[in-house]
Structure 1
Amino acid sequence: MPRVFNFSAGPATLPEEVLAQAAEEMLDWHGSGQSVMEMSHRGKEFISIAAEAEADLRTLLDIPDGYHVLFLQGGATLQFELIPMNLMRGKRSVDYVHTGEWAKKAIAAARGLAPSVNLAASAEDRGFTYVPPQSTWRLSDDPAYVHYTANETIGGVEYHWIPEAGDVPLVSDMSSNILSKPLDVSKFGLIYAGAQKNIGPAGLTIVIIRPDLVGLGVPTPPLMMDYATHVKSESMHNTPPTYAIYIAGLVFKRLLATGGLAGAEERNIAKAAVLYDFLDASDFYANPVDVADRSRMNVPFTLPDPALDAEFLAGAKERGMVQLKGHRSVGGMRASIYNAMPIEGVRALVSYMAEFAASKG
């Protein structure tokens, strides 16, 4: 059957060119006589794949010299715990900004590990439909770090600016919007991202960390939980997610060949505009997020009557559009339009939405 337009929030759609190349190389990678997923992670073939993937990621993000790039496992969820374990440095408090479900999970993990977690700001007062302006933030005195979630996959709220943290390390979960636009990495102490949205398959997590923040955990974390372990071993302390790294490397090359992150941002702005413009003109569908804080990656919307949801989803599936059901915690619909979603998919969705609304008179 033809490929569907997959609006899943993650694991998400991948570039067809990348999938085609991976299929072509499945049985024999570059004349090696083996698949990448069969290779020893310490063999010269895979070492070259990992090195090239890291080099291309550094180019895409213009990562400053000295910053470490780690290819890890455990998802962003594991990083929720590794961050306070490694970055507390004997300090008493950490600062978090609460913008939705993923920030909530990060905060809960920190509360189990840090002596004090300061909620610097929260959007709960308006149902997590906006980003609290930095003028409202109340940072603690001398925190170990300031943490924010750059894009809330469930609520469809995104920062379109980088917070100022002064000399305090700025930490961000960028799982669902990394590589969607240019980024000044030098403003951050640590960036982390699960791969399964804009980078590649589930199973890979990328951590970018400033060198002065490595090896400062107090007490020293267990070996596998210590960033210093993975920096020293160049992400090879144990077997890494080799095939996911390979696919990520192909995605990086695809991005470099199509205008880099500036090109990705241009495409993402155009795609988001198609959907948001339609929503704003509709008296049938609604999006709850403040216009200035709308996510370009995840677009939640509701129908006037939840009883119509099942019929809407069934019709979308018949037309080759899947995974539009909203997260169970908020209901409604959600269209995830990451880098690899072509604008044709968004146009097809809007066309169907118009047809469905018209059918309901």
Structure 2
Amino acid sequence: MQTLTVSLADRSYPIHIGSGLLGQAEHILPHLKRKQVAIVSNTTVAPLYMQTIAQPLRDAGVAVIEIVLPDGEAHKNHQTLQIIYDHLLQNRCERNTTLIALGGGVIGDLTGYAAATYLRGVPFIQVPTTLLSQVDSSVGGKTGINHPLGKNMIGAFYQPKLVLADIDTLTTLPQRELSAGVAEVVKYGLIRDADFFDWLETNMSALMHLDAAVTSYAIYRSCENKAEVVAADEHEQGERALLNLGHTFGHAIENAMGYGVWLHGEAVATGTVMAADLSQRMGWLNAAEVARIKAILQAAKLPIDAPDLGADEYLRLMQLDKKVADGRIRLILQQSIGKAVITADYDAEKLRQTLSLAA
């Protein structure tokens, strides 16, 4: 097992990465304020892993409440959030009851937001079971739900007490979900870690085949990058916004196509290519660098061609992005591989050209 720390003064917490961690209650027990937990999962993950984590806790004398939600991005909404609240209230859960998110990014975001708001805040633990959630959404305290008019527009910054990333859960991921997670891994190389990008180019095949050493390193390096960014800018006032490379374009795709039709990582991959295209038009990236970005995403079996929504529709949806300031869409663009910037200082016509080239 490898351990990282997200350094946030008295709210710092560990990220444990390794194999067979779900059944090891000793990693969770020190973080419980009382011997009661509510484990939130979904109809796909719960049959696979609920008892693996629940039974050792019960054996240690912990009362376990199981909450199973419908699966998918389409259910990341207020109605599903109410299901969590209903279970907590029906079981008379108190402020020292710990919520455990067992699943991917949707479960993590929903559970975290429920924890932030139930009784004005209860402890929670992230147990991510997808690559995307292990390298990105479980770390950093972003929680929330979607609104029909925009993705992740309702939420809170609320840090977990622990992140427990068991790489064994990745063996049950469908190929498409694995690829979606790789999009977020590649992101760290693009925005701040050129050496990691180079390593990924060399090791992508092994990662896609879930070689244990390669997978562990990719998760560790990704979490290390994210932990450093979050420690420096917890509430996304500056550098943390760089973690949204490809997301402004990608969220527009997810919204337009219907939540869940495109996986988040798929939309981010395509959005990353759109950001690279605009960066090239700005004179920052050269053609060879754009080709490398496309090639690594294709090696991960990710889409690189955006749906043709029309430039006007893209711009309308991108105006709903959380990074919009004073009515101006701020974008994360590439100055080079390994260096990204957040800027509203781009040529509007060049942006329209990028949006108009969607396949």
TM over 0.5: no
TM-score range, shorter chain: 0.3 to 0.5
User: What is the TM-score with the length of structure 2 in the denominator?
Assistant: 0.40
The structure with more helix, counted as a fraction of residues: 2
Higher relative contact order (CA 8 A, sep 6+): 1
* Structure label with greater radius of gyration: 1
